[in-house]
Amino acid sequence: MKKLLPLFVAVLLVSCSAPQQTTPQVVSTASLPHANPKLVVGIVVDQMRYDYITRFWDRYQSNGFKRLVGEGFNMKNAHFNYIPTYTGPGHASVWTGGSPKMHGIIGNNWFDKFSGSSVYCAGDSDVNPVGTTSSAGQMSPHRMLTTSVADQNRLHTQMQGKTIGIALKDRGAILPAGHTANAAYWFHGQDEGVWITSDFYIDQLPQWVQDFNRSGRVDSYMKPWETLYDLSTYTRSGPDDTSYEGGFKGKDKTTFPYNLPQLQASNGGYEILKSTPYGNSLTTDFALAAIEGEHLGQDGITDFLTLSYSSTDYVGHNFGVNSVEVEDTYLRLDLELARLLAFLDQKVGQGNYTVFLTADHGAVHVPSYLESVNIPSGYFNYNNFRGALEAFILETTGAQGLITNISNNQIFFDYQELSKQQVDPKQLQELVKQFALGFDKINMAFTRSQLESTDYTTGLEALLDEGFHQKRSGDVMLVLEPSVISYSRTGSTHGSGFNYDTHAPMIFYGHGIKKGSSMERADITDIAPTISALLGVSYPNGATGRPLEVVLED
């Protein structure tokens, strides 16, 4: 036995030192770390406050909002983490995972200090319209400086995964779809009533879009707008006839019904559809045609459909958040969501797609209504403010023409005039700030120097900081008092950092998503990283949000 031991040890040493020959392990696709959905549908409901979920909950059907909330994951405490809360910045932030500080979309329009003129967030004079000869087709995402999660999916799949963007509003279709989209489509009303795009994407409309535009579907919605249910049941809203609503030209009262064929000519032709829930129905119709026509979700490579419902914003601006018109619009939107989900079940397959639903901003109660119930609120006139400010600067410094623009609650200096009249910009910033703080209905003021030198982490200061783009933003930023707006005395608007504008729905549903809810604080900029993590793709290059692990299945 002792003689055999050295031989045994020698054999053992040789076997340990020899290269190990192993059979390669075959891993099934089911056990891969990222078994991806066939289709991601990102839904942005324009101007949707979070409380529209709870306010109308009992009136929703079972297969729309209730299906998403009940079978998906509801982040109940999601907020925008920047100012200003407008449509352009909102759509860009949802899809890029970054704030205006990163993606550069600081408003729908903003003053370009280098050209000395106002620019539109999606405007692009270097592209040509497709599907129309109108300048409404001269649009692209070229002013958005970062990628969207849809861009990252295109890069990750070597451009094989498709991206299609759809919205009535051009910016609602273009910014989410990103720079690499196969196409983005928006609705051109007026006397045409067609879906269009630009040659940034394609040189001519695909056959399915041409067929849709010729189908008569748009004309089918030019009909009276009546309440979906009996008017007496709309108890989650104020009275139908109030002085807080804008209404349509050609109709004296803001009361149901609205005869759209009769009002069409005096309200922009087909544009009137945007300000009714029929605009959302038309958007769903076109989205279903896109899924069919583009064969979205029909193979193993993830596609994206970026979908924005714009009519909710038009209705809110016109009639206000407490109106019967808004309630009816959301009850009808609930049916549109149910129709979309049923179509996805049929065409892509239940469990094969992922949906998220959010908003681009909220909205304020009409201040004139709030005043009637003794809640502090009001209106601010920037023309009066500018006149008083320029008079103050002249009296204090002897200089004039130093203010070149005031927009989006920002004051822009004319640096050529400052140099010519030998005025120090930092001193002028402080001077304007102190004047503003003494002006009625202005709550706070911050200078460019403050935002460039201080890293704010809490409060409205932090929101301003995240919305401040060093190259594009102004020299003094103003914050009006809560529920004080620069707007007409009818209808609602948005743009502030207060909860009524920042608190938005954030619902995830479908493939890879847990069922449940959370009151954990989340930022809207967390959506894109969460979808990126679900797909296993790189985060958008300017994303500052974090993936929400709580919503994702293990």
Catalytic residue numbers read 87
Other beta carbons within 10 Å of 223: 14
Q: 161 and 153 in contact (C-beta within 8 Å)?
A: yes
User: Residue 97 is encoded by which pair of tokens?
Assistant: 């995972």
Residue 447 CA to residue 464 CA, distance in Å, equals 11
Which of 462, 243, 224, 230 has the alpha carbon at shortest distance from 331?
230
- Cα 264 to Cα 401: distance, rounded to the nearest angstrom: 44
Say which residue the tokens 């029929």 belong to: 278
Question: What is the rounded distance in angstroms from the CA atom of residue 414 to the CA atom of residue 401?
Answer: 7
CA separation for the pair 503, 300 (Å, rounded): 36
Largest CA distance in the chain: 113
Q: Among 187, 260, 177, 270, which residue's Cα sits nearest to residue 226?
A: 260
- What whole-number distance in Å separates Cα of residue 86 and Cα of residue 501? 9
d(CA 385, CA 390) in angstroms, rounded, equals 9
CA separation for the pair 517, 395 (Å, rounded): 58
Other Cβ atoms less than 10 A from the Cβ of 448: the count is 20
Report the alpha-carbon angle 509-515-517, nearest 5: 100
What are the structure tokens assigned to 19, written together?
Answer: 């290269």
**Residue 90: closest CA among 124, 151, 45:** 45
